[in-house]
Structures are given as structure tokens and as C-alpha cells.
Amino acid sequence: MILSLAAVAAMSSGGGSSLNSSSPLDTFDSSTSWSLAEDLSNSSSEPVVRTLTPDLQPATTAVAIQEVNPWDIALCVTGTLISCENALVIAVLFYTPTLRAPMFILIGSLAVADLLAGLGLILNFVFTYLVDSSVEYVTLLSVGLLISAFSASVFNILAITVDRYLSLYNALTYHTERTVTFTYVMVVVIWVLCLTLGLLPALGWNCLRDESSCSICWPVTKINAVALAVTFLLVFALMMQLYLQICKIAFRHAQQIAVQHQFVAISTTKGVSTLSAILCAFGACWLPFAMYSIVANSSYPVIYTYATVLPATCCSVINPIIYAFRNPDIQKSLWMACCGCVPSNLSLRPRTSSDV
């Protein structure tokens, strides 16, 4: 949801320059010299007619260069990093036939969402500084792509959490064809919902005609931004509840296996620490932006918007590390693709969805 922040900054700081540019004197080109020419045909006592005529000299056109905001550069660099990471994940999943389990389907969907988010950040920079951003369809295209991509990223993280919970709660029936079908249905529902959210600005939920109704992310309306923020808070609360249930099930399994009690206890404690790190990273990235979207509007300083948007985009940088590169199967595929070998210290134990 990183929208035309540079446009907002320009609107808030460019008022004085726009007044100067409308001065009548600016219509005369400074590179053209002007001279007074007399009408020599009037040789009588009639008043001499003087006309102001320009000398025919090559004129140079002054090109106004828009100053690049450092925050936009940071967002563009972040988008490039996001795109590279997730493109690597998608390539590994696509060219490895053994990675077709429900868990990898969800990881692939998350990688596609984050890849689109990274490309959206790059396109937003291009549209702001290299393309005429005053064209409505350009702005709405950038807005729709970013809303759809980041929404899909958040919902795919929720889907991965649900998948992990079901793999523990229904451990005996999880590895069935029904699970694969359920996973594909869940992915389709997520993308249909997120594409619909991305189309809302183009369908009229924008503040292009009424700037007083704008949120901190132009041209999204305040109502739309609050609805998205509240939806995120509900998703985050549901994730916390699911991870809490995962921890309870894991501890219950640890107590039931008395022979491996010490090993399982250590493993469970490590798993709980990993879950806590995942939730803390997700909350630290998205909560500031969600809360600020609820309380603030377009009249607030744009630097606060940038300061909350940048951590939110960093969540898409962390996602491949948490959900893909930590997976031993994906690590093995990466090693095979890079050097044709697998390190001896790499765990070859089959990875399940309940692993964190």
C-alpha cells in the first residue's frame, strides 16, 4: 500500500513554486533578445509606430528537473531487493518437481505476491519521476498493484499459519488429496479477494476529485485505508491465536512421548522461540503503518508516512528468509542449482508443514 507518496510531498511543499510559475513574465523566453523596430514607411509627421519584435535566434527550452526524494530511493531499492529474492524462490519451486506439497504451494503464492509488491515499488518510482503521474490511469494502476500485492502477501502468511495448524491438528488426515485441493481453493480465494481490493480505487474509491477525503496514501480514501488497516489487525489477531494453539499442541505432543521427552522438549522450546520471532517480525513491520493509517490523514506530515511505510515493505524482504530459505528442501535445491552438491551438514529429514 505504498502509493504516490512523492505526489503528496509535492502537493504539500510545492505551493510556492506553483505560484511563481504562473507569472506572466515567464511566458517570454530569456534566451530570445528583443529589439524595437521602427516603421520606416511613415515619413510624415504621424507618430512613429514601434513594434516589439524578437530577433530570430535559437531558443533553448528550460527543463525543470524534479528533485528525487531519498525516501523514494529507499523504497525503490527495497523493491529491487524484494523482487530478486522472491524471483529466486519462484524459480527454485518451479524447476524442482518434488516441491509440490501444499506447504510449497503456499510458499510459492507468497513469493508471487511479494514479487509483485517489489515490482510495484519499482513502478511507483518510475511513474513518479519518469512518467507523467498526473494521468489518472497511471496512478490507479500503481495503487491497484500495490494494494493487491501487499494484501495477498499478508493473506498468504495467514494461509501458511492455517496450514501449519491443520498439519498438527489433523496430523493423520493431513497428507491426502483433499488437503491439496483445499490448498488450491484457499490460494484462489486469496487472489480473487486481493485483486478485488486492488480494483476498488479504479472503481471510484479514490480521492482524485476530493482531496479532503484522502488518507495518508494518495489517492486512497480515508475509509478505504481504515478498512484495510482494520482487516490487517484482525488477520494479525487470528495469526496470534493460531500460533498459540500450535504451541499448545506441540507441548501436548511433547508430554505424550515420554521416551523422547528431553529431545522433544528442546525441539518444542526452539519451535516456540521461532514462532515468537515470526510474530514479532510481522507485527513490527506492519503494526506501525496500520495504526498510523487509522489515526492520520493527508494533512499529516508525509515524512511520518514514509517512516511507517518502509518497515512495512521490509516484511516482504524477510518473508523469503523465514518461509523459504530456512526450508531444508529449498536449501538443497539451491545448493544443487548453484554448485551441484549438497553440504553434509544440511538436514535431509523430510520437512512438514508443522515445522517452523
Q: pLDDT digit string (tens) for 185-202? A: 999 999 999 999 999 988
Cβ-based neighbours of 341, under 8 Å, separated by 6 or more: 335
Question: Ramachandran region of residue 89, left (φ > 0), alpha (ψ -120 to 50) or beta?
Answer: alpha
**Cis peptide before 219, with omega less than 30 degrees from 0?**
yes
Q: Which amino acid, residue 157?
A: I
The percentage of the chain sitting over the pLDDT mark of 90, rounded to a whole number, equals 43
Give the span between the Cα atoms of 180 and 163, in whole angstroms.
11
Q: pLDDT digit string (tens) for 43-55? A: 444 444 444 444 4
pLDDT at 136: 76
pLDDT at 14: 44
In angstroms and rounded to an integer, the radius of gyration of the C-alpha atoms of the chain is 29
Q: Give mean pLDDT, residues 67-84.
A: 94
Q: How confident is the model at residue 253 (pLDDT cuts 50, 70, 90)?
A: confident
Domain residues of the chain, as ranges?
Answer: 70-338
Helix (H, G, I), strand (E, B) or coil at 110: helix
Q: pLDDT digit string (tens) for 115-136? A: 999 999 999 999 888 877 566 7
Q: Give mean pLDDT, residues 48-76.
A: 62
Sign of torsion over alpha carbons 39, 41, 42, 43? positive
Q: pLDDT digit string (tens) for 309-323? A: 999 999 999 999 999
Phi, psi of 38 (to 5 degrees): -90, 145
Q: Which amino acid, residue 342?
A: V
Give the span between the Cα atoms of 152 and 311, in whole angstroms.
17
pLDDT at 15: 42
C-alpha cell at 60: 533553448
pLDDT at 50: 42
Q: Is pLDDT at 176 greater than 70 in this prediction?
A: yes
The CATH superfamily holding the domain 70-338 is Rhodopsin 7-helix transmembrane proteins (1.20.1070.10)
**Which single residue is written with the C-alpha cell 522438549?**
265
Q: pLDDT digit string (tens) for 9-44? A: 545 544 433 334 344 334 434 444 444 344 444 444
CA-to-CA dists, residue 69 to 3, 9, 339, angstroms: 14, 9, 41
Q: pLDDT digit string (tens) for 133-170? A: 566 788 888 899 999 999 999 999 999 999 988 888 88
Higher pLDDT, 250 or 112: 112
Give the span between the Cα atoms of 147 and 289, in whole angstroms.
14
